[in-house]
Structures are given as structure tokens and as C-alpha cells.
């Protein structure tokens, strides 16, 4: 009888708990709907006011700069606060839907979104080091152990790692964009091209005896470029993240924003990173053109060589265009800041 009474009590407690949970979910859903409407209305107002400021030609330039800065700060506060989870989510890319299906990858809480970003930054740090070490090991073994001829399996293992690397980056960046990050579309397309190149190169027969040195020239150049890319990634990860923290503190960027290869740091860092970036892009295009030449002249007639050459040239040109566009944006921003500072000193 005591056990029967205890079971009856537990059943009643479960029913009460179920009713309380249902009531809570219903009330929270109603409050969530209200917050979504308010957040959307505020976001629309910010966009409308910004358009009004831009179209008003009679507004005092000093007042325009102040109002635009206030709107930018309000936009960052809206995107960085807990209210950001109630804003309309960006459509998820086909890449995410292809792997995960119609699953909502937008985090409901800001701390979870920031953990996603921290994991992404950690992933970039790890892969930058491997980007440098992996090809360095292959080139060292080629010179001192393998007699100047790379075996097929280690190179294919490296290409498989590249496929995993760029697929992981593309997946993480699509999720970050769905959670409010400002990653440029080009870098997603860049990773798709890199994934296609890694997949194609897995089927490329590089065991090149008796003309091993000539047939593997493109592979050797690509590994040398990868080492340079690893150095650049390590420098960018360090310098650019410090710059991003400064912009977040000034209200010029959102906490979910990330930095990638198209940007450089502050003035002193521009002199270091920009030449390195342009050298990398030029060398990448050179490797692609060398692959195209070997394919078109019949030295290595496989179709994989032709496809990899085309993809490398496309990625180099796209990286160059994005770097130039970013530097132009930085130049216009600095000129605007100088004008604002000059007007303030005159006043």
C-alpha cells in the first residue's frame, strides 16, 4: 500500500510538472514573438534612418558623421546583445543544408554563438600550424630520403587533409554567417574551389618515374606555396584578432565578426602583411599557370592538372580583388577619420 501511494504521488507530480512546463512554454513563446517583432522594427528603423542620412545632401557633414557613428554603434549593440537571437536569421547556405538538412543552426543564446566563434578561431590556429609543418616535412623527406621524387601516398594524404580542412572551414563559416557574422561570400566560394581542387588532386597520378622531377614540378611549387600560406595565416591570426578586439571596443564591429585573409592590421602591420599577401597571390597564380602550361604542352596530359591549374588561377585572382577592395575601404575610412579630426581641431 505504501508503494502504491508513492507511485500515485509521483504520477501526480509528473502531471503538475507537465502542466507548469506547458504554461511556461506558452507564455515564453508569446513573449518571444513580441521581442521578435520589436527587434525587427528597431532593425528596420536603423536601416531607414541610415538611408535618410545618406540621401540628405543638406545635412552638416559634422552632424552627419556623428549621427552615422551613433547608428553604427546602435547596430552593433543590437547585433551583440541578447536581442540578436530575436532578429530574423539569415538563410542557411546550401552547403549546410546538404550535410545537415533543414536544421536551424542559429544559436538562441549569445554565449553559445561566441563559443562557436572561439572554436572557429581555435580551428584556424591549429590548421595554420599544420599548413606550415605538413608540406615542410614532405619537401624535406623528398630531398633527403626519397631521392627527389615524392611518393603518391603521402601527397594524397596531404590532399585528403586539405579536403577535410576546407570542408571544416566552409561548414563553420556558414554557421557563423547564420549567427550574424560578416564573413564575405568570396571566402566561402574560395573554400568550395579549394575543396574541389583537393578532391580532384586525390585522383591525380603523380608517381612520375622516369620523368619524376619534371612531372612533379607543380606539386613541389604547390607545397612551397602552402608553406608560405601557413606563415601568412599565423601572422594574420595574431595581428588581425588584436585589431578586431579594438574595433569591437570602439563599437565599429560586432563580437561575431571574424577576420580572414582579405584584411590586414593597423598601419605598421600593413607594411608587413600586404606585401606578403600579394606575393602569395602572385605565387599561387604562377603555380596555376605552370600547371596549365604542363597540361597544354603535353608534359602531363591528365585532366586533373588542367582543372587544378584553372582553380588556382581563379582563387588567386579572387583573393587579389578582395584584398584591393579591402584596402580601398580602409583608405576611405582613414580619410574620413582625418576629415573628422581636422574639423574637431578647427572647432
Residue-wise pLDDT tens digits, 41-67: 888 888 888 888 878 777 777 787 788
pLDDT digits (tens, 9 = 90+) for 230-252: 877 777 766 666 555 555 555 55
**Residue found under cell 578582395:** 322
Q: Is residue 226 a part of any domain in this protein?
A: yes
Half-sphere exposure of 125 (CA within 13 A, CB side): 11
> Is the pLDDT confidence value at 97 over 60?
yes
Q: Are residues 159 and 271 in the same domain?
A: yes
pLDDT digits (tens, 9 = 90+) for 267-283: 445 566 778 788 888 88
- Quickly state the pLDDT bin for 336 (edges 50, 70, 90): low
Which pLDDT score is estimated for 180?
74
Q: Are residues 178 and 48 in the same domain?
A: no
Q: Are residues 145 and 280 in the same domain?
A: yes
> Is the pLDDT confidence value at 264 over 50?
no
Helices (H), 179-302: 185-201, 212-215, 217-249, 267-296
Q: Are residues 212 and 313 in the same domain?
A: yes
Q: Are residues 29 and 174 in the same domain?
A: no
* Range 191-206 average pLDDT: 86
Q: Is residue 54 a part of any domain in this protein?
A: yes
Which pLDDT score is estimated for 314?
93
* Range 207-215 average pLDDT: 65
Q: Is residue 31 a part of any domain in this protein?
A: yes
Q: Are residues 120 and 187 in the same domain?
A: yes
| Residues in the chain, overall count | 347
Q: Is residue 69 a part of any domain in this protein?
A: yes
Asked if 282 and 316 count as a contact pair (C-beta separation under 8 A), the reply is yes
DSSP string, 34-101: HHHHHHHHHHHHHHHHHHHHHH-TTS-HHHHHHHHHHHHHHHHHHHHSGGGGGSPPPPPPHHHHHHH-
> Is the pLDDT confidence value at 332 over 80?
no
Question: Distance between CA atoms of 240 and 263, rounded to whole angstroms?
Answer: 8
- Quickly state the pLDDT bin for 301 (edges 50, 70, 90): low
Q: Is residue 93 a part of any domain in this protein?
A: no
- Quickly state the pLDDT bin for 107 (edges 50, 70, 90): confident
Q: Are residues 66 and 131 in the same domain?
A: no
Q: Are residues 64 and 152 in the same domain?
A: no
Percentage of the chain exceeding pLDDT 70: 77
- Structural domains counted in the chain: 2
Rg from Cα positions in the chain: 27
Q: Are residues 269 and 211 in the same domain?
A: yes
> Is the pLDDT confidence value at 343 over 60?
no
Domain limits at 64? 1-88
- Quickly state the pLDDT bin for 317 (edges 50, 70, 90): very high
DSSP string, 155-195: HHHHHHHHHHHHHHHHHHHHHHHHTT----HHHHHHHHHHH
Q: What are the φ/ψ torsions at residue 59 (nearest 5 degrees)?
A: -75, 140
Which pLDDT score is estimated for 57?
74
pLDDT digits (tens, 9 = 90+) for 115-150: 888 888 888 888 888 888 888 898 888 888 887 788
Nearest residue to 251 via CA among 46, 83, 114, 76? 76
Q: Are residues 169 and 282 in the same domain?
A: yes
Q: Is residue 18 a part of any domain in this protein?
A: yes
Q: Are residues 291 and 142 in the same domain?
A: yes
Amino acid at each position: 500500500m505504501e508503494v502504491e501511494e508513492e507511485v500515485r504521488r509521483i504520477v501526480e507530480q509528473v502531471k503538475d510538472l507537465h502542466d507548469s512546463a506547458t504554461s511556461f512554454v506558452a507564455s515564453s513563446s508569446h513573449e518571444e514573438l513580441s521581442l521578435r517583432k520589436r527587434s525587427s522594427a528597431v532593425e528596420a528603423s536603423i536601416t531607414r534612418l541610415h538611408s535618410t542620412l545618406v540621401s540628405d545632401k543638406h545635412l552638416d557633414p559634422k552632424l552627419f558623421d556623428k549621427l552615422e557613428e551613433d547608428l553604427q554603434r546602435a547596430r552593433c549593440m543590437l547585433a551583440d546583445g541578447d536581442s540578436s537571437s530575436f532578429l530574423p536569421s539569415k538563410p542557411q547556405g546550401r552547403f549546410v543544408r546538404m550535410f545537415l538538412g533543414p536544421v536551424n543552426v542559429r544559436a538562441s543564446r549569445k554565449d553559445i554563438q561566441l563559443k562557436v566563434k572561439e572554436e572557429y578561431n581555435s580551428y584556424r590556429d591549429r590548421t595554420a600550424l599544420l599548413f606550415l609543418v605538413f608540406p615542410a616535412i614532405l619537401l624535406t623527406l623528398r630531398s633527403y630520403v626519397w631521392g627527389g621524387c615524392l611518393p603518391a601516398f603521402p601527397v594524397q594524404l596531404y590532399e585528403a587533409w586539405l579536403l577535410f580542412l576546407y570542408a571544416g572551414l566552409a561548414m563553420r563559416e556558414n554557421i557563423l554567417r547564420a549567427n550574424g557574422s560578416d564573413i564575405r561570400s568570396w571566402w566561402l566560394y574560395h573554400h568550395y574551389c579549394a575543396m574541389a581542387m583537393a578532391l580532384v588532386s586525390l585522383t591525380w597520378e603523380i608517381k612520375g618515374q622516369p620523368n619524376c622531377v619534371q612531372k612533379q614540378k607543380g606539386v613541389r611549387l604547390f607545397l612551397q606555396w602552402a608553406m608560405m600560406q601557413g606563415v601568412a595565416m599565423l601572422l594574420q591570426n595574431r595581428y588581425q584578432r588584436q585589431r578586431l578586439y579594438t574595433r569591437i571596443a570602439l563599437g565599429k564591429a560586432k563580437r561575431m565578426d571574424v577576420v580572414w585573409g582579405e584584411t590586414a592590421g593597423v598601419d605598421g602591420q600593413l607594411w608587413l602583411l600586404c606585401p606578403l599577401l600579394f606575393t602569395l597571390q602572385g605565387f599561387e597564380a604562377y603555380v596555376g599557370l605552370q600547371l596549365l602550361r604542363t597540361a597544354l604542352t603535353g608534359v602531363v596530359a591528365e585532366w586533373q592538372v588542367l582543372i587544378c591549374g584553372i582553380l588556382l588561377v581563379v582563387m588567386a585572382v579572387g583573393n587579389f580583388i578582395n584584398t584591393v577592395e579591402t584596402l580601398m575601404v580602409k583608405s576611405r575610412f582613414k580619410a574620413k577619420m582625418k576629415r573628422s579630426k581636422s574639423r574637431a581641431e578647427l572647432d
